[in-house]
Amino acid sequence: MGRHAAAVLVDGIVGVMCNGHAGENYLTTREEKRRVTRAVVDAIGKRAIVVCGINAEGSLEAAEHARDAEADGADAVMIFAPNAWALGQDETMALRHHRMIVEATRLPLMLFQASVGSGRMAYSPEILAQLLALPRVVGIKEGSWEVNAYERTLRIAKRVAPTVAVMGSGDEHLFTSFMIGSEGSVVSLAAVIPEAIVALDRAVKAGDVARARALHEKIHPLANLIYGVPPGARATARLKACLQMLGRFTSDAVRPPFAPIDAAERARIEPTLRAAMTSV
């Protein structure tokens, strides 16, 4: 894990998020999360930012995990909505959940705006505005996976909390998000093809739309094979397979009830991955 985190730190990558959705944070134990955080902090903590994802169904447990992250050396925490919220939450639950984590730690906090297809895990504009106004919120990983919803989040943030960094993370539409406006990105593809993601961000910022579109043409097919093929929950297995293909992981094992991808899917992904690697 530490070696992988270090390998991601190409020029232009300023930090790593561990214990995110792509890192199976909903399938790992509290102690396993701590081991991951420590490994990443030990490997890169002196030269890059380490953000630790907090994903627990209960607010008390989430607060404990945030305290763990602080004790283990993380620089910030990212708060994920509990999965049960997909079935519904009232207008007070998200604010109470986040406030308990704010009170549990002194670390900066990052929010996570979930996909438009995730039910009530995706915050309404009213709830999002309240969360953005909480103390020590420094950024939001914008995972709406829909361009209009992304721009709505960006506009709310600039109105309510203009110093909060809004970071596009919809892998298939990074180009669009960057063009609309994004202060960097927290995106799982950067763990696989970091050079291409950095190059896309730099091309957009430089106004080189032709180069940005060319990079997008290489990134977009890979992103769709990982995230765009149902079921989306198989993305982690596909990402691990990519990392094994690149020799960064020795195994593509995933936690049950999931299983590694089959040979046919590997055969579809590998040439697209190799093409994306040559895009920079």
3-state secondary structure the chain: CHHHHHHHCCCCCCEEEECCHHHCCCCCCHHHHHHHHHHHHHHHCCCCEEEEEECCCCHHHHHHHHHHHHHCCCCEEEECCCHHHHHCCCCCHHHHHHHHHHHHCCCCEEEEECCCCCHHHCCCHHHHHHHHCCCCEEEEEECCCCHHHHHHHHHHHHHHCCCCEEEECCHHHHHHHHHHCCCCECCHHHHCCHHHHHHHHHHHHCCCHHHHHHHHHHHHHHHHHHHHCCCHHHHHHHHHHHHHHCCCCCCCCCCCCCCCCCHHHHHHHHHHHHHHHCCC
The CATH number linked to 134 is 3.20.20.70
pTM recorded for the entire structure: 0.94
Tell me: the pLDDT tens digits for 31-64? Answer: 999 999 999 999 999 999 999 999 999 999 999 9
For 185-222, what is each residue's pLDDT tens digit? 999 999 999 999 999 999 999 999 999 999 999 999 99
Q: For the chain, what is the domain count?
A: 1
Give the domain extent around 123: 2-277
- Predicted confidence at residue 278, as pLDDT, reads 75
